Structure 1
Amino acid sequence: MKRNMEIFEKIIGLSSKKGMEVFDRGKKTPLRAYFRNKIFCCHFAYENTEDIPKIFSIDYRNLGAVNYKVEIIDNTHSIYTPTIVLGRILNTGEKMKIVIYHGGNKGEYSVGDILIVKGELIENNLGKFLNAKNVEKLKD
């Protein structure tokens, strides 16, 4: 995973250069780069299954709709699908994993980003997480 994050940082460096940026629906896509008249779309996979976050279960409870303002405190799993980031809910200080299924958000979130996250609070025998339906970045 460390090597994937190092590669990700290099991709960010390329995709941020003028002429190499790719926009989709008006939003810059950090895991895509335009080079020699082609768009390169980068994907990452876990090398070891034990690195995959163990937060999903077929036995779960939907605790209802939530609307949280969060600060990203760990983006280690933000380059995979689904995107998973660890956030700190600003009004309570509680740490919570945020799961974003929309693939267009991969690689978009950095430590320190402030987000408004609307979704569902899910609880299972492994803990709680926020199933994000809508994410708005306020600060990066």
Structure 2
Amino acid sequence: MKMDESGEHRKLQLQELEEIRNDAYENARIYKEKTKAFHDKMISRKKFKVDQKVLLYPSRLRLFPCKLRSRWIGHFIVTNIFPYSVVEIQSLATSKIFKVNGHKPKLFYEGFQVENVTEVNLQDPIYSD
């Protein structure tokens, strides 16, 4: 009789342990979903258009000769945009066309055009006593 009671008690303990394990898996899944949603919300998507100028980050090159030197190379023109963030670019220097991941290029700003700028000369006021 004592063996049957201890066997039933052991079965209940194993069932409780299984429930605790399932709750832990469920909580971990919920946490991962929330973390992924937060991460995806913070990612800024790059939108490229055909004939835009871009710079390219050479991710294979790990050694950079100078600390303050720019790590972005060339001037490229976007020639085609494919699904799943694949961008086809053309080099302005060599006219080669190749495809890159959409995360590697960034927009190239040629500078801001100055229009309708008025110049104001500021002078110290003259105080007379």
Larger radius of gyration, structure 1 or 2? Answer: 2
Fold agreement, TM-score > 0.5: no
Query: 1 or 2 for the larger relative contact order (CA 8 Å, sep ≥6)?
Result: 1
- TM-score normalised over the length of structure 1: 0.26
Give me the TM-score of the superposition, normalised by structure 2.
0.28
Higher helix residue share: 2
